[in-house]
Amino acid sequence: MTPGKNSFLRGLFLETSVMSGGDVLFLWLVFSSRATACLNCFSTAAQRLRICQYFWGYQSEKHQTCLGTLESAFRPLSKTQVDVSEIEKLKDAFGRVVFYLEEKGMAKAPFQEAVPEAVNEVEKEIAQLKAAPPCIPPCGYQKESHYYRCSSCSIMDCQLPIDCPIQDIHKLEGDATFLNCEVAFQTSSDRTFRWKFVKDLRTEELFLFHDLNFGVNPSLLIRPTLGSHHGTFACELEEENDVVVRKYFYVNVTEKRLGNEKKLQEMFKAILNSPPESVQEAVVVNKLPSLQDLMSQPDYLRKRGVIVLILGITGISLLVTLAVLSLYRWATDFGP
């Protein structure tokens, strides 16, 4: 224990020794209403009172002062958390502390020195104890991560849900689908796995599922993946008939026919959403102009168009003239 901590405890002993009985009782009640120290977890009220009786006598008015001092001296240890496998060692450590203080009291050792020494010794023992493994989110009953907490004198778990969030898996029809029920935290060797399935739904409602298989294999292979596999698969990891974790996999299967239709829809949308200028240019390139379109153009009567028109009119006039002359000659040859 550091010198500063020793001086703090000794100062606390001196302050409480000069307080009145009512003030000390109030202080002790305030201390007791806060987080409980490990000393209170592994000792009884009778044992703590007996320590004070050994130091101050059976009829002393300092019993409440003594109890409040013990409570305050061991209060920093209320934050202690150890692996559940170390509970017995923790209990033994505080059992030795109680016995140590009883011996010091019977030997009439100074109370102000005995208590800090006891706190120092138990801190050394606690430092050697194993801490619990950290909890691994987001889900699962992680038994190996349970820990003992002195502030509540109780065993705590990770406070995580059994059900994991749904994992979305997208597959094309004909692909292979691999589902794995393994978890990141430690599980027992005698675990089993139960697979369930509900068609077409993305859900965690267990009453909708039907069983697929049960065994020791943590994985499920679907090959080939069909449209009938579209839905939610659930896996329950069990230890001694208790569900430790439940994982969900929503397999979204796209059928080949639907895939082709989707590609056509995308092509059609691309055409509809193309810029107007490019559409007009494509139409102009691929479409041959009609005679009416040519004549309606503003520059049609200019340049070569005028020459062609004159030649056409001249040719037609010549043909008409020749036809009239031919008819006239034919009529005069057969006259009376």
Q: What is the DSSP string of 23-88?
A: HHHHHHHHHHHSPPPHHHHSS-HHHHHHHHHHHH-TT-TTHHHHHHHHHHHTGGGGG-EEEGGGHH
Which pLDDT does position 318 carry in this prediction?
A: 83
CATH superfamily of 163-254: Immunoglobulins (2.60.40.10)
pTM of the model: 0.59
Which pLDDT does position 325 carry in this prediction?
A: 80
Tokens representing 3 are 């010198």
- Which of helix, strand or coil describes residue 109? coil
How far apart CA 75 and CA 5 sit, in angstroms, is 13
CATH 2.60.40.10 residue ranges of the chain are 163-254
Whose tokens are 């008819």? That residue is: 327
**pLDDT tens for each residue of 63-118:** 999 999 999 999 999 999 999 999 999 999 999 999 999 999 999 999 999 999 99
Which pLDDT does position 48 carry in this prediction?
A: 94
Residue ranges of the chain with pLDDT lower than 50? Answer: 1-35, 278-285, 291
Is 39:118 a contact under the CB 8 Å cutoff?
no
Rg (CA), the chain: 48
Which pLDDT does position 328 carry in this prediction?
A: 73
**pLDDT tens for each residue of 215-246:** 999 999 999 999 999 999 999 999 988 999 99
Is 162:139 a contact under the CB 8 Å cutoff?
yes
Which pLDDT does position 314 carry in this prediction?
A: 83
